[in-house]
Amino acid sequence: MGKLKIAYEYSEAEDKSIRLGLFLILSGFVSLFILGFCWLNPTLQNLQCKATNCTVLSVQQLIGELFECTFTCGTDCKGTSLYPCLQIYVNNSQSNSRALLHYDEQQLLLNPKCSYIPPCERDNQKNTETVTHWQEYWKEEIGSQPFICFFNQHRRPDDVLLKRSHDENVLLYCVLWPLLTLLVGVLIVVLTICAKTLAVKAEAIQKRKCS
């Protein structure tokens, strides 16, 4: 009776291990799909931007043209304020053409007309001061010095980025953790099946010896 109970508990533990392994395998596949759809595709597109040298041609604010941004001031508190449009035109050495500089791809998508979107404040004057400070930085600190920018000739030939939103590390994290989950799941299933096979063989050998 005791042997039957031990065998039953062992069989139940095996089933739990296999279920756990299958769950981890399924989680790994689902994670790879979700991360691949949400992160990997835009990251690969972003990484197509090639590094090149840019030189400032002009730095100016558009007179009389303001854009809206959304600020938060606490829980359930939102509002809109205004900021001026700063345009920084640069010479792209790769194509030797004039292009509009943007801080990163996110800002480019939010406002393709302007080079910089400030952290949104409730006070319009603070937004204006931030943009003006950024303007002075490019005029006085950078000037005619060449700097690294990122350019995608096929997607946006008239725009360049100061920073890329994603880098190779995102690719690593997108693939690494789902693959680890998948491999651990496979390992658990394989080890459980091997242990079960060895137990069956050992039991068969024991029976032959007894007979």
Each residue of 74-89: pLDDT tens digit?
777 788 999 999 999 9
Each residue of 33-50: pLDDT tens digit?
766 655 555 555 554 677
Q: How far apart are CA 80 and CA 66, in angstroms?
A: 12
- The residues with which 56 forms a beta bridge, in sequence order, are 90
Residue ranges covered by each domain of the chain: 16-49+167-200, 50-163
Nearest Cα to 14, choosing from 152, 200, 156, 210?
Answer: 200
* pTM, 2 dp: 0.60
Each residue of 127-180: pLDDT tens digit?
999 999 999 999 988 888 999 998 887 777 889 999 876 555 555 666 677 778
